[in-house]
Amino acid sequence: MIKTKSAAVSMLTLAILLSACGNNNNNSNAGASSPAAPASSQAAASPSAASGEKVELRMAWWGSDERHEKTQKAIELFESKNPGVTITPEYSGFDGYMDKLNTQIAAGNAPDLIQMGGNIKEYVDKNALLDLTPYVGSTIKLDDFNQGLVQSATFDGKLYGVTLGVNSTSLMYNKALFDKAGVPVPGKDWTYDDLKNVAIQMSEKLGKGNYALYDLSSDSGAFASYLGAYGKKLYDTDGERHFEKEDAVNWFKYWADLRAAGAVVPADVQVANPPTAADTTLVVKGQVAIQAGSASQLAGWQQLTQDTLGLLMFPSGPAGSGMVPPLSGQYITAYADTKHPEVVAKFIDFMVNDPEAGVILGNSRGVPPAGKIRDALAAQATPVDQAMYDYISLVADTAPPVNYVQFPVDNELLALMKLTTEKIGFNAKSVDAAVDEFMTEVDKLIAKSKAQ
């Protein structure tokens, strides 16, 4: 279980954590320079709408109902402070979000403001995002940010996004199911053998229709953590994969064995109840004990159940912990062809620096990157928020100092892993045959990224 500390100690730990993030350079642009000088020393930014002119913007994001509600309240506050500006929300769960965005970009009709994840570089390479550098220092203030967080969205010396929150991968668990099975919640030092034993033990005690685990074989973050625990990597700065077919076979077979033992959600049930959104996940509904998720999801999901939810690190392996240190979880970016870049830049600054907006948004996208906003939230931290803070601090203390690199076309990798899992889960392919196809397609994706 995560031990709860005082808010003051927790926020101090977070301040240290954020300082550490700057030294890790855990991004695909490791070594990139800081954003260019403020706009006063840059070429003049594109003109915005004239004073008093009506400006209509669109903003896209994914997340839980809680995130949707808080983001809309923040938008309403911005509109009240900026008469004439209207921002139309376009929100959804994560499933299909990137597909829709890709269609909009191809049609030249993307939203002005776009929430991005760790795959931001993929869209920089597509020339789909606005260079925000001319607005840094004048409109967008980043003085209160750790520079490592700024560099994570800086490519070739240009800033393309602003961090909305510091986040970490996690295993989210429902304590009520552990209690029902009479199995203790694992500690931070558990292994993949422990996970298998716990899952099988719980499956024998939970009864029909309840499961210890979602099938995590389709989760790229879980796979990356597994590879790290065995001394491998999914992808690295040299632009190549750093695992072999044997590693992938071991991964998919691990979950196939658990599925055969009745310890994980069957393929048809998982397709009907995907774990990627709070309204479909069986962890919130009290039928599954563990699933993968971002630590920032904890608060929103906890509101949907009376069961106590918590966060666990991924298991360790022969090479130790495969956890990735906490990273910039999400970014607010702008469409390259927005007609109102100055207003867009003003809203970006508002999201991360306005104290009232900070209180509204809270930790809905992770730990806020601006120190003054974290300080404001510390005084009103709930036990659930505290658990998230403590978990991120625990990961920072435990994870090895790896230089994590996001897979270059991450959304396509996610689709490939999901397809591979379903082929195996529905008995359409053997593990070995499915992995042969998987490895071929992974190499095709890498070749595609190099050609972009």
pLDDT tens for each residue of 273-317: 999 888 889 999 999 999 999 998 898 899 999 999 999 999 999
**Other residues' Cβ atoms within 10 Å of the Cβ of residue 140:** 23
What are the extents of the domains in the chain?
7-167+328-398, 169-323+408-451
Which CATH number applies to 7-167+328-398?
3.40.190.10
Q: From the centroid of its chain, how far is CA 30? A: 19
Measured distance CA(263)–CA(80) in Å, rounded: 51
169-323+408-451 maps to CATH 3.40.50.720:
no
52 pLDDT tier (thresholds 50, 70, 90) = low
- Of 117-121, 170-174, 258-262, the poorest mean pLDDT is in 117-121
Domains 7-167+328-398 and 169-323+408-451 are alike in CATH topology: yes
Query: Element (H or E) spanning 358, and its range?
Result: helix 355-361
What is the arithmetic mean of pLDDT over 75-98? 96
Share of the chain above pLDDT 90, in %: 68
Q: Which of 292, 280, 276 is nearest to 324 (CA)?
A: 292
**Residue where the block lists tokens 């690199």:** 405
Measured distance CA(181)–CA(7) in Å, rounded: 33
Q: Is the pLDDT of residue 378 over 70?
A: yes
Give the per-residue pLDDT at 429. Answer: 97
Do β-strands 162-167 and 211-213 pair in parallel, antiparallel, or remain unpaired?
unpaired
Q: Is the pLDDT of residue 40 over 80?
A: no
Q: Is the pLDDT of residue 35 over 50?
A: no
What is the arithmetic mean of pLDDT over 38-46? 35
**Residue where the block lists tokens 């009232």:** 356
What is the arithmetic mean of pLDDT over 6-27? 36
Two tokens at 124? 């920089």
